[in-house]
Every structure is written in structure tokens, then in C-alpha cells.
Amino acid sequence: MNRSSSCLLASALTAGMLLSTAACSSGGGDSGSGHTEVSASALAKEAPTKSPSASATPSLTEAQARSALITNADLGSQWTETEGAATWRDALLKSKVDASAFVENKGDAADCQQLLDGLYAEDLLGTPKGAQAVTGFDDSDNEGQMRYQVAAYDRAGLDSKLAWMQTLPTKCDQFTAIDNKGGKQTVQVVSASPPDVGDARVGLQMTMTGELDGNPSTLTLDIGAVRVGDNAIYVTNGGLNGSDGNSTVQAVEAGTQRLQDVMSGKTPPQAPTPS
């Protein structure tokens, strides 16, 4: 892979506003979707690498994890509870990295495969140590999907995963993956700056450009995590028509606050009852 051929840009706008990322290659394209400017998932420049011997945050219970989940009321009006996984998940996220293109460092191919596998298996942060809860939403505006998880982890293992995620824009800045039908997908990974929330935060935006069912396609996916004590929120958001970065920001901000409220003994606001 020729790393010098790709140029990645991550620029933060004003606080609380949508943050942008862009990725370009020597081919001169814009990743195909026109939506890569709306990244919100790259949540912190640095994750701590040292962990205290004991956590000051009490263990998360199953009830607390469920209570800490965001609802569609925390997002824009276009979001509703999901009706099921999108078909692009199997078609694209099950792709295999073309390791032959990693001339400089073959080890990076394994990291990029771990990224794809973790996105497909929905375990990019590893296996939770304790309680966990998951919810999902569909975006009627762009047919995107959001998956949102709250879970308890081992602190050292979680910090290690966050630190690893921060290396991916360098290790996996641009590579080729082979999808489940043998087609080639050009994958780019960039970082962006998120809201300054939680104890540690990291995230990425990934695009996969190629063909899907014989038609040109670009999958844009925001990926983010925020640590609160020994617990974390994990969100992915996007689809074939881009990712709504405003909604990613809303999910990160609202979700972190809900988790902090739950862990401090407060009751987060409930979703309004449908009329």
C-alpha cells in the first residue's frame, strides 16, 4: 500500500458543533459519498495507558446499563427504533483485507482485519466484563443505522483497546479489502475530534468504496467510544448514503451524560410516551 498517496484531514469545528473529517488520495476522489465531512466519532486524541489499582466508579448493573441507553428522543426526529440489521453489514463488513498490499508492515494488515471483524461482530472494544445493554435506530432521512451499547469492562483492557483504536488511522489509512462476492473495496480510516466528554474518548470514521450488487457504492461509518470509569459507551452510525454526524455528536453527548447520571445515582430522563 502506498501510504503517501493518501491524505487525511480531521478538523474540529466549534465546541458542540459537527466535526469534520476528509480523506483524499492521489486519485483525486472524495470517497464517493460526499458525506465524509460529517465525522463525529473520533473521540479523543489520547487515551490513558495507566490504570488505577481500584476503580472509583461502582460496578454497572444490568438495570443501570438499560437505563443508560439513549432513546430516539435523544436524537433527531428522523430516528426510530431499528427494524433490523442492514444488508450491507454482511456484504461489506465481512470483507477480508488484501494483505499482499501491505508491503511496508505486514502486521498492519492484521490490525485492519481486526477492525473489520470487530465492526461486524460488534465487539470492537472486546468482551464486556459485566453488565451490558444494546439498542439500535434507523434514520429515515438517509437510510442509515445507529447501534448503541453501554457495558462494563476491565479498565486496563478497555484503555488498551482505546489506545489501539487511535493507531488505526495510521496503520489502516487506506487499504484494499475483498468483499464476500470477490469484489474489491477501497477502505479509508480517518480520525476526528469529538465532544470533550467522559474520562477518555476515541473514534474513527471509515469509508468503504467499491461496488455492491453491481452498483457503485460507498459505506460511511462513524465509530466511537467514551470511557466513564470502568464503563463505556460504544456507537456506530452510518450507511450507504453517508453518516449523519450531528446525530453521532448527539448520541455521544447525551449517552455520556446518561451514563454519568446513572453511575451517580440519578435517574436519566425517559423517552416521551407516544401519543
Tens place of pLDDT per residue across the chain (275 aa): 444 444 333 333 333 333 334 333 334 334 333 333 333 333 444 444 444 434 455 689 999 999 999 999 999 999 999 999 999 999 999 999 999 888 777 789 999 999 999 999 999 999 999 999 999 999 999 999 999 999 999 999 999 999 999 999 999 999 999 999 999 999 999 997 778 999 999 889 999 999 999 999 999 999 999 999 999 999 999 999 999 999 999 999 999 999 999 999 998 876 444 33
Q: How far apart are CA 8 and CA 10, in angstroms?
A: 7
CA–CA distance from 21 to each of 18, 70, 239, 249 (Å)? 10, 25, 16, 14
Short-list 38, 60, 22, CA closest to 265: 60
Q: How far apart are CA 100 and CA 84, in angstroms?
A: 35
Q: How far apart are CA 92 and CA 258, in angstroms?
A: 32
- Which residue stretches of 75-152 are H helix? 88, 106-121
Beta-strand relationship, 174-178 and 96-97: antiparallel
pLDDT given for residue 267 in this prediction = 87
pLDDT given for residue 124 in this prediction = 96
pLDDT given for residue 123 in this prediction = 95
Pair 110, 117: CB distance under 8 Å: no
Q: How far apart are CA 163 and CA 9, in angstroms?
A: 20
Where along the chain do its domains lie?
3-48+85-131+152-263
| Measured distance between the N- and C-terminal CA atoms of the chain, rounded to whole angstroms | 55
Q: Is the dihedral of CA 110, 115, 117, 118 positive or negative?
A: positive
Q: Which residues pair with 228 in a beta bridge?
A: 231
Q: How far apart are CA 101 and CA 200, in angstroms?
A: 33
- Per the listing, cell 459507551 goes with 233
pLDDT given for residue 104 in this prediction = 73
- Residue 74 grid coordinates: 435523544
What single-letter DSSP state applies at residue 250? Answer: H
- Residue 8 grid coordinates: 487525511
